[in-house]
Amino acid sequence: MSEQQRNPESGDTPSYGYAGWAPPLPAGPPAAPVVEGTVVSHGAAPHRYVEDHSGGAFQDGAFGSDRAAEGGAFTGGAFDGPPPPPVLPAAAAAPAGGHARRGFLRGRLALVTAVAAVAAVLGGVAGGALAVGERGGSTTASSTIASPVSARSDGSADVAAIASAVSPSVVQITVKTNSGTATGTGVVLTTGGQILTNYHVVSGAASGGTVTVTFKDGSTAGATLTGTDKALDVAVITASGAENLTPATLGDSGQVQVGDSVVAIGNPEGLTGTVTSGIISAENRQVTVQVDEGSTSGNGGFGFPTLPGQRGSNGNSNSTAGDTATYKAFQTDAALNPGNSGGPLINTAGQVIGVNSAMYSAGGSSSTADSSSAGSVGLGFAIPVNDIKKVLPELQAGHNV
């Protein structure tokens, strides 16, 4: 090869004699050998490939140029530039690892998206649970209190719905003693027959009286005293052989406000399943009632309270301090009469928020079913259920407190 064909600056690198020349790109994957006589395409015009066996050079008949087998120079004919770089198929253009990396990235993205979705769902559930706890206003930290019914759209009580839902949890209690018969009401606490009532309703049972419970369906069962709190005027009895009863839902009396709608269910004067309604007229009304059997038996087993500022005595003047109970009660204008004692005072959600325990009568202790002055005058009283809850576990366990 002549010196004119070498680069005068390096003396080693061949020069192809035109401006802008760049070294050829690395060769692509080895191609299958071309058989002599095969028609191939070079540029725009097809030509026949001819191998020169004499000098080891290749001759391009269409372009009139040949390439030295060892020197890499081209001689003869016009040359428009080095051959174009090989064009790889689309699938081969990207390294094989590109597919794997893209798949890996897609997998990572899917995993992150899934984790974010699960976190959002759990957060919503936790937020929803927290919101329910705050709205419920329960005095316990465990859960919100179940609501057997719903209030009307204007917030008033749906009396029919409440009566239907709660009446199966209300029973009539009859106590027979040597002094007579007392009638009251009770609230079912358990499916197995535990029933909440006033102490003064069943006080005769402590001195040998017999207790009979009449259920919503008319069936009856004997009952015994389980636990009592004379000072609060509450007691728990257990009906013998009872099963599958419908327990009432005890609400949260701490959420009650003056003006709230309420419903009372009881057995006034032996008229079983009587439903009345009204509102909470006042809160924290201090009342004192007789709870001894000798006093209550004369008025149908109902407590007549002594109220602050009242003229004279509204109870038995012969009763001692041990025969009375004093507590702060809800005042309601829902009609209460002898026989309502021990029955539920119910809020618009169908929850028991108090136990009806006393009513004011203008006739004092002489008020009986036969007296013209007996009956409701819109001044009924109920023991708040939150006060009862404080001692209820002890009573259900069979203790007297």
Which amino acid does the sequence have at 328? K
In the chain, the N- to C-terminal Cα span, in Å, equals 124
Q: Which of 341, 357, 367, 376 is catalytic?
A: 341
Which of 196, 213, 212, 328 has its CA nearest to residue 249? 196
Known catalytic residue at 297: no
- The C-alpha atoms of residue 398 and residue 392 are separated, in whole angstroms, by 10
Known catalytic residue at 200: yes
Q: How many residues does the chain have?
A: 401
Known catalytic residue at 252: no
Tell me the two tokens of residue 102.
């893209």
Q: Which of 60, 158, 229, 233 is catalytic?
A: 233
Q: Which of 60, 169, 200, 387 is catalytic?
A: 200
Which residues are known to be catalytic? 200, 233, 341
